[in-house]
Chain A
């Protein structure tokens, strides 16, 4: 194999693929990136952790086709340090790969390409497209609620499913048992009959990074066990979480009769300010509701107390409710507009937060007893 490629191009795509590679690997080949030079077709870079794989194709001058694997992190670090604007030549022969740029010479150990595991996609019957910007929004508005608790593996991802409400929709939901985030969009063409899938957190994280640099649309193809994202020059394939996502509709309250309308920015800033003195991990913030205002307060035996009044529209009976400040901030960080709706019932019942009844995102938050 022999090819020459521009440093910037190589760096960018190595950046994409190497982040899939786990830092500590018991299987040596999984630390490596597969580099394949295709006659007249540029270079393909591929990395995997056996659950998630990214393949990216970049332009290069290929003198001799072939393939090899080298340590992904080492190669990435090398390319990162090469002078800007340089041309990098990659040449593999006899178990080594030479990396040359300017006067820098590296000779890296390789592992045979045939040992490199490739995820078998199988049949992916459902295929549809979503604008990259929309997909970005879906991820941003739900991923913070994904559970990290491994014993509840079926919550370790975002749940995608289609239903026919008033109109056919695609919904994405995530929960960690304390809060729930759901995003709804009109069902894209081709998504009808789609199986319910749970896309794992790591795939979501890598997907989100790729989406940053992408305009246009993303092609999504899936079966009940795999999903593939077509992201411009890159293709990401992931296994899905094999589990049943709980019926989350039950926890979305419908009868919460106390409505607070409040400016999300001043709400967010107020919570953030009073939470400063809550040094514990719990970060409980109390919210006292009164006619057309709320009083946020935090009591920390260690630091003292803090309170802040925030104006809002509220006409029901006054009462107090406690929330985890971080959970509130996670949600408030995702809502826009002048006034959001907070639907409450009582101090122990789930609370619903959304921009308005047309908004595609909806959040449910369980209160804290403080």
Chain B
């Protein structure tokens, strides 16, 4: 069979198969080019999720007519001036993207170098259609239409415009996070969905692209380990989500998707957060170019670290450090929903629209349900106060507060004078409610603490500190235990032998399909060694993280913590309450219980005023 050199247009189309698989990937290449061109504002317009049309306009350096012709040729790039592929600092470097996209779509490239004339070049599925002068502001405009119109095999695999759009928006979000100095706008079918200004700080940018409230509920990560550096923002454990969709990793400025992040984040937030809750975070990792290989896949979303364990350690360490610094902070304000429960009842016959929302039978059976101290009325209040679904919360906020029967909890007179409150963020204990909650007065509001959750947390933290400082003691086994596992599980465990030994588990490879256990963490007692090792192997396979061992240790710690804790339902003296508050202020992570729920909430003066309709 004769061997032949493939014609240029076929080579491009094959390359396109790798670089461009959907509108979002074409978009990514174009926006990266704009970033590389030094743009300060980048505008993106999409139609039908980008299937019909992707347009990227930048105000970057632009290209001359000759450069434009070259740019559309394969392996033509301005970004590797000296063959140093290791040291590349631009997002692009292959000189592959434009020709690839041009080979599977109708591509219009318009560009103008400042102080020169603009030029336009239109390429239709690889063939030059027309070129000539164009009028445009300095910068570049790329328009990609009818992607894959002539590649039915690809076109068939495109998803609905909606999910193509979701992927495209994710791409923009990641790139916009990576470069908070650049302004981005994203319009889809005529609607502007993302607009961020140039020159924002990183936390502002991340919050703008994820959740505005992140600003108040996050910690800054800034962790320098010599050659490697981790920066970014991470939400407090109490600010969490049901899905791990808002977790972003950037390596040397490049957005990447890597499973390593999932495991490391889990590791860092572990025991601060329930398993099914996830923090919001954006982490920016800077490592020497030699430590990471970005040339793994043409789309550049995957990277390969030379020492993945170090990187994982850096991320866990950096996050943990930042969270430790945050100390007792947690979500500072009660959530809107919780505040809803503080609402006062509207005046009798007052705001009409809300009375219709009362539970049935209210008006006929209990025309005046809240007779003072009436136990029934007390009970029912909970139901009344919950805003009916869909009702406008603000409307029920108005109205006079009803008379509140004295709560049954006793409020001891506080002995400490108020001035102290200024120096104590969690305030001065004023009393205890239901023998479960401590009520304290802080300088800026009212603090309510769940005494059991708070104390349990303090004890666990104390114990964790012991583990951290003293290392994990391990107990040798009289007869080393042989655990049969499959070969890949053994390989995975063997790779982690060093780390596991630090946690007190001493393993040795024992033939191809078994591990020998010489010592186990002393905290676990004479437990089920085989089970532990098996769980561990599973866990490592799933997350490449030795969590289950740590989890087991934590579980022991947590169980002991629970036993050693003040139960709900115990009456505390004011001195005891204050001692608890003071300890919380200086203990890391005391703002949330072991399941990520807050241990305390603060009702600011503003919130209190709102409750009484003064604001």
Taking Cβ atoms with an 8 Å cutoff, the residues of A that contact B are: 147-152, 175-180, 246, 250-251, 280-282, 284, 299-302, 322, 324, 348, 350, 364, 366-370
Contact = CB atoms under 8 A, between A and B. Distances in A.
A366 B478 contact: yes
A300 B473 CA distance: 12
A177 B462 contact: no
Given A151-B531, A281-B523, A299 B470 contact: yes
30 contacts: A149-B527, A151-B528, A176-B526, A177-B479, A177-B526, A177-B529, A178-B476, A178-B477, A178-B478, A250-B479, A251-B478, A280-B523, A282-B523, A284-B522, A299-B470, A300-B466, A300-B470, A301-B466, A301-B468, A302-B462, A350-B476, A364-B478, A366-B477, A368-B476, A368-B522, A369-B474, A369-B476, A369-B519, A370-B471, A370-B473
Contacts of B560: 281
B469 interface: yes
Contacts of A350: 476, 478
Given A280-B523, A301-B466, A177 B481 contact: yes
Interface in B460-515: 462-463, 465-466, 468-471, 473-479, 481, 504, 506
A180 B478 contact: yes
A284 B467 CA distance: 13
Nearest to B466: A301
- Most A C-beta atoms less than 10 A away, residue of B473, B531, B560: B473
Interface in B516-542: 519, 522-523, 525-531
A180 to B, nearest CB: 6
B556 interface: yes
Contacts of A364: 478
B525 A281 contact: yes
B526 A148 contact: yes
B378 to A, nearest CB: 38
A147 B476 CA distance: 15
Interface string B551-576: 00000100010000000000000000
A147 B556 CA distance: 19
Given A177-B481, A280-B466, A367 B526 contact: no
Contacts of B556: 281
Interface string B93-133: 00000000000000000000000000000000000000000
A348 B470 contact: no
B80 to A, nearest CB: 52
Across the A-B interface, the 3 shortest Cβ-Cβ residue pairs: A282-B522, A301-B469, A366-B476
Interface string B442-467: 00000000000000000000110110
B93 to A, nearest CB: 50
A147 B522 contact: no
Nearest to B474: A369
Nearest to A151: B528
Nearest to A348: B476
Contacts of B522: 281-282, 284, 324, 368
Interface in B573-611: none
Given A147-B526, A151-B531, A368-B522, A324 B475 contact: yes
A364 B477 CA distance: 11
B476 A282 contact: no
- Most B C-beta atoms less than 10 A away, residue of A148, A246, A251, A368: A368
Nearest to A283: B522
Nearest to B556: A281
Contacts of B529: 177
Nearest to A175: B478
A300 B465 CA distance: 10
B501 to A, nearest CB: 9
A368 B475 contact: yes
Interface in B146-203: none
A251 B475 contact: no
Contacts of A149: 526-528
Contacts of B474: 368-369
A350 B480 CA distance: 12
Contacts of B471: 370
